[in-house]
Amino acid sequence: MRLKRLSVCVSVSQSELAEMLGYTRPIVNKELRRLADEGLIRITYRHIAVPQPTLLHQVALPKS
């Protein structure tokens, strides 16, 4: 049996995300760009898509 890949898409502006996280928009933008450059997320107007949440999770929380 083949499992379908899960993807996640969040509808939020970078300014809203920065406010939620307690950071400035330029800092959030820089980190989102880095994640996008690494292929971990896709950024479009008011949307952040995570095509492979498991991969992002592995990068965010590497095993000790």
Q: Is residue 30 assigned to a domain?
A: yes
pTM of the model: 0.79
Q: What's the pLDDT tens digit per position in 5-62?
A: 678 899 999 999 999 999 999 999 999 999 999 999 999 998 999 998 888 888 888 7
Residue with token string 């049996």: 1
Q: What is the predicted pLDDT for the residue at 5?
A: 67
Closest CA to 33 of 7, 14, 59: 14
In this predicted structure, the answer to whether residue 1 has a pLDDT above a threshold of 80 is no
Q: Is residue 17 assigned to a domain?
A: yes
Q: How many helices (H) and strands (E) does the chain have?
A: 3, 3
Q: What is the predicted pLDDT for the residue at 57?
A: 86
Torsion on CA atoms 29, 31, 33, 37, rounded to nearest 10: 180
Domain span at residue 55 reads: 8-60
Q: Is residue 3 assigned to a domain?
A: no
Q: What is the predicted pLDDT for the residue at 28?
A: 96
Amino acid at 38: E
What's the number of domains the chain is made of?
1
Sheet of 47-50, strand order: 8-11, 47-50, 42-44
In this predicted structure, the answer to whether residue 4 has a pLDDT above a threshold of 60 is no
CATH number of the CATH domain containing 23: 1.10.10.10
